[in-house]
Structure formats: structure tokens, C-alpha cells
Chains A and B, each alone.
Chain A
């Protein structure tokens, strides 16, 4: 930072540039340190149900899973606002538990992304559920996940997008 005593000698352009350079380096260095530190533990990896089954999830780490909400899988608890549903890429499925109000676009057979942690019982505990409201009603990750599992129906444009992938396994 430039907070230092007033210089006694007359300032030259060179000296001023030096001050600027030092201030810039300090700020950028601090920013770089902050960014690296933040990346260490705030990056959230996206995993498909198939990948989750194959490789598992790092213990206690926040991840995102995405796919379609499996038809007929949504179960609501009556005692408290907890919902259970399954996310599928039409090859594998993951059980998800979520407490709260689901987004407006959440529907069975439609694309969904859930962020949270995989519990010890194999149930994914979501802290956030995103059902994207883009024109095609299909999050990009979900489309890619479906392509990966070989279940992607091309020509899915407009509102037909989600229903095009509604096929049951």
C-alpha cells in the first residue's frame, strides 16, 4: 500500500512509477494469493450419476450432480418440508434428499442440477437444487451428461427439449 511518510526529495517520474509498480504488485500479489486460497476449497466439481457410481465422491466435499429427475421418484415427507427424488442420466441414478421449496421449474422427467454432499448412506444431501429456466429447459451439464450416457435425443430445441429426453430406461 502507498501509505508511507511523505518523501523528502523531489519526486521524479521514475520514482513515481516505482511507487505505482510496488502498489500494483502488492495488490495483484494479494489477489493471486486470495484466488489460489479460494480455489483450494471452493471449487465445486460437476459429476454425473454414472461417474458418481464409478468413482464415488470425495468425502465431505461439495459437488454438483446433474441429470433428469426420474419419473415417479419424487417422494415428499409429511412431517417437514423434505423431498426425496432420484437424479438419473438414464444409465445410473442417485437418490437425493433436499429440505426446502423446490424451484418452480422442478418437474419429473426434466433436467436438474443439485449441489450438496454425498452422505454415508449413499443418499446425496442437496443444499441447493437448480432447475434452469433457459429457453430450452435443459441445463448444459445435463445435456452433456445425457450425451455421455448415450441417451441424448437430438433435435431437442425449444420446449420439446426436455420432453425429447423423457424416455424411460
Chain B
């Protein structure tokens, strides 16, 4: 009964989405306030009914209602409650419902919170948002109905892939979708602005918080996914340039560029047309990500669902959004009035370079991800594009980006003084040089490590220099500086945090890739080995029961300088529903480095009596690897700080009229 109610709610949500797509658009064209307001009601209705459908599905999972096909295929009565709940989005149908729920959530948020938006813009934004919603609701109802019944119901479900039964992955999709789908708001704003024929500082100021929120969620989602891959897949790596990872990384790159170009529109009224294009492309890349993951056209270690028919439907939606968005852009963009001029050496110039490099980097990832598809479609054989490709293309593009990031924030708007900025960066340059020297002396890994460390230190010291300049640190009494710090706009603080966070991430990536130690060996109980100065002794391997699995658990004693410091307990879990084995790595972190242990197969002595009995053990020592995720969290923190900036809350039109810096950007 509840499942049918959920199905019905989904249909109602589709009806509301159709109303929301059509009526407010007509209202905005006629200037009819009542019709425009319909959009807000419909947006709330669409969200409410999608939520009802989602909760109905969750109910079916929690009570293990195996008469629902989706539950029977993806859940099991013996599964812990947490994974019954997260199992809702651990499968194709449920994850699409979550996708649409988040889409409707953002629409409802615009309807509820967008009081200071001009009514016609708000109506058009809601209308575009609902067009996307209607498309995906139709997709669910047509090809992926999660409420289909089974008759007779099976006695028990076939279970969720055990590798997905993990807290890190449980919350990875919701954050990823919040990010992906959050960019739909930027898309809707861009389309609405193209229809209105007006992009100004106020528009940028409305778009930016939504983009920021989506970006924060996407950053967190990607970080969670990479963290999960790190400890769950047992390879000791954190990023594999896998197509599905790239699918989430491309919108991130484009979204990051969008965040930066929107600043230029807001502050200087320039780059309007480019920013609108970026907003469209960012969401198109998000849709493409959904298509790549959901259609299974790419082979990937993370592909959990594939069905060509569904893929075709999403591809059609993707085509409509792309063609519609870009077509409208081509048609309307020339009417956007170009804004403030700036010299190449200026804050705007730096941000343009940021956009160019991020855009190009995104393009290299795009080509690497899709090239195998094109080649196969053209009959050129099956290929895969792996890590070496990205090391040769993406990584070199990051070098100038990081160099410019150190200087850019110190340049003034409109016309910057490069010599002056470099003079102020003298201390930063000296520290960077010192760091480079130390790295050269100590480095026993690849030469690229020197480049990475140098760039990261440059970025970090550059970001801190900018902050020190703003608060006039060491130029007067410390109290004055602290007072300035407290009064600093949140956006400035956010930039320093986010840029410094990237430096932390780069340090983590560089150190853990360049200086990782790895050992694979067969160990018998009682045997001792050594890695990165630590002694590791395999004490025993015992079988322990888990809630829905049995685990072989190894106990490894870790010693440093002869003294015991820790115990590692890696596991191999044997699940029965479905029958599968998963590896649970044991990680001991000091925040400066991780000691990472995985246990593999049991080895029997050879039939001739040669060889030895024991277990395959894989050990890693990963320096600075936790910094990757610490940095990502700091980056998100930077985004959140920026979201609390005063100007996002103050009535934007009033500010636009009062602020002299935006005077040139006001519509004619």
C-alpha cells in the first residue's frame, strides 16, 4: 500500500513539475504576478511529493518489504539498519529518486528563500528547474520505477553489494548529488538570464551562493568517494582517474571556474557571457556524469548500474539540455552588454587565466574519459586511458595554475602592479626557495616531488601573505591587525582558507605519491618484517563473526625502535548474501603518515613440502596522505565561510545601487 502511495506521489510530483515548468514562464512573459507565483507553490508541491515518494521507498527498505522488486533485488533482512537506509540510493532506481529529490529541494529552496529575487527572474528560474525535474521524473516513471511489485514476493532479498556496505560510501552519493544537481540552479539562472537578456552584478550575487553550496557538497562528495576508495579497495591509492571519478571531477573543475568568473561579473561586470556559458557547461557536465555512471557505457571499477535503454533516455535529456542551453546562448549571448575593461595584469586577468587553465584541464579530462568511447564507436578497437595520460596532460596544466594562484589575489582590480605584488611576495618566495632546497636534498623519489612541494609551499605562503597584507600584520601593533582580521569580509577569509587548503591537498598528493613505500609478502604467524622504519609482526589470524559476515582478522603488532606502538587488525570479510569477499584495510595514522595493512589469501605449503604456510600481507607507508582529505574539508570550510558573507544576505538590489564598485555593471 505504501509503495503504491509512493508511486502515486511520484506521478503527482511529475504533474506539479509540468505545471511549474509552463505556468510561471507564461506568467513572466505576460508580466502576470499571479501566474508567476504559481511557480513557487508548484515548486513546494513537487518537492513535497518527491519527498513522500522517497520516504515511501525508504520505508519499504527499512521494513524489508520484499514484494517490492527493488527492495528484493538490493536489500536483505539481515542487513544492519544503516545499510537498509543507505541501500535506498545504493541502486539505480533509488539513486535516481534521490537525484530528483535534491533537484526539487533546490527548486523549493529558490521558491522559499528567493524573496529578494525579481519576480520574473524567479519565475523563469523555477520554470527551467522544473523542466529538468519533469524530464527526470518521467525517466523514473518510464524506465526505472522503484515501486514495481513482485508476485509472489521472495522469502528474502538478494542483498546489497557488500563493498557498498560502508559508512564512507553510504553518504558519498547524497553529497555528490547535492553537488551535481546543485549546479542545476546555476544552469536555471543562466537560462533565465538569457531569456531576460540581462546579466548584471546582482545576478552574479544571486547565482554565487547556490553555486558555492553545490560546489561545497561536490567537493565533500568527491573527497568521501576518494577516502572510501583509499581504505576500502585495499590498493592504498586515493584517485585512479577512473571514468566515474572523472565524471564527478569534470563538473567540479567547471564549477570551480564558475565560482571564480562569477566574482568578476559581480565586482566588475565583465566576463558576463563567459560566466553564463560556464554555468550551462557545468550543469551539462553534471548531466553527462549522471549519464556516464548510469548508462554503463564506460567500464569502470565503480560502475554499479548499467542498462543501455536507460542510458539512451538520459542521453536524450542530456542532448536536450545541451542543445537547448547552448542554442539559447548562441542566440541571446550577443545581446549581453560587455562590462568593465581591465588590463591583462589585474585581478580580472588572473581570474581569466584561472578559468582558461581550469577549462583546459577539464577538457583534457573530458578527452581522456570519452576518447575510448569515440574510438570504439568508430571501430578503432577498445582502449583504456589510464593514469599516465593524466600525469602527462592534467598535471602540467596545474603547474601554471598554482603559480598564478600565489600572485593573483595580490593584484588590484582593473590594473594590477605585478612588480609590487612580487615585491610583497618576497618572504613567500624565500620560504618557497628554502622548501625547494630542502626537498631537493632529502628527496629520494621522483623529481616531480620537488615541483609539487615547491608549488604547494608557494601557494600556501602566497595565500598567507595576501592575508597578512590585508590585516597589515607586522606593520603596526598586533592588536590592530587582529581587529582588522575580525572585521575582514568573510569572502576574503574564505579565499585564503580555500587556497591554503588546496596547498595542503597538493602537499598530500605529492608526498603520498612520491614517497609511498610498499611491501607485499607472505607472512607466517610470528614472522616480522619492516617498512619505513616500523617493525611489523603478524601475531595471529582468527575468524570472527560479524553482523552479516564472517571475517578473517589478522593481528599485526607495530613497533618503532623496538617499542610496541600500535596494533593493526586488517580483515577479510566473507559475506553470504550475496556471496562476496571484501577487504578491510587497517590504517594507523599519525596525521603525518598512514601505516596501511591489508591481508590477502591464505597460502598452503606446497604438496612437495616446499614453501610455507601463511597469509599474503600487503603493507603501505603513505606519507601525508591524510592531508588530502584534511585539505578537502578545509576547502569546504572555506566555501561555507564564503556563504556566510554579509553581501549574500543583504538585499542585493539595494547593495547594487549603493555600491560604487558595481556602478559600471548596472543595466543600462
Contact = CB atoms under 8 A, between A and B. Distances in A.
Contacts of B601: 76, 101-102
A2 to B, nearest CB: 4
A81 to B, nearest CB: 4
A159 interface: yes
A169 B165 CA distance: 36
B246 to A, nearest CB: 14
Interface in A3-46: 3-4, 6-7, 11-13, 16, 19-20, 23-24, 27-28, 30-31, 34-35, 37-39, 41-46
A31 B522 contact: no
Contact of B299 (A1, A28, A77, A139): A139
B385 interface: yes
B334 interface: no
Given A34-B397, A104-B582, A42 B388 contact: yes
B393 interface: yes
A62 to B, nearest CB: 8
Given A101-B234, A105-B580, A140-B299, A3 B345 contact: yes
Main secondary structure of the interface of B (DSSP, over half): mixed
A39 B389 contact: yes
Contacts of B345: 2-4, 6
A46 B381 contact: yes
B653 to A, nearest CB: 27
A158 interface: yes
B303 interface: yes
A99 B353 contact: no
Nearest to B611: A78
Interface in B317-369: 338, 341-345, 349, 352-353, 356-357, 360-361, 363-364, 367-368
Given A38-B389, A44-B385, A24 B356 contact: yes
Nearest to A131: B301
Contacts of A159: 158, 578
A95 interface: no
B356 A158 contact: no
B342 A16 contact: yes
Contacts of B418: 3, 6
Contacts of B415: 6
Contact of B344 (A4, A12, A100): A4
A133 interface: yes
A132 B360 contact: no
B600 A102 contact: yes
Given A43-B385, A44-B385, A141-B299, A100 B520 contact: yes
**3 shortest interchain CB distances as A-B pairs:** A78-B611, A46-B382, A42-B388
Interface of A: 1-4, 6-7, 11-13, 16, 19-20, 23-24, 27-28, 30-31, 34-35, 37-39, 41-46, 64, 76-81, 99-105, 113, 115, 130, 132-136, 139-141, 144, 158-159
Given A2-B353, A12-B341, 14 more contacts: A1-B353, A2-B344, A4-B344, A11-B341, A27-B357, A44-B383, A77-B611, A101-B600, A104-B583, A115-B386, A133-B161, A135-B304, A141-B382, A158-B158
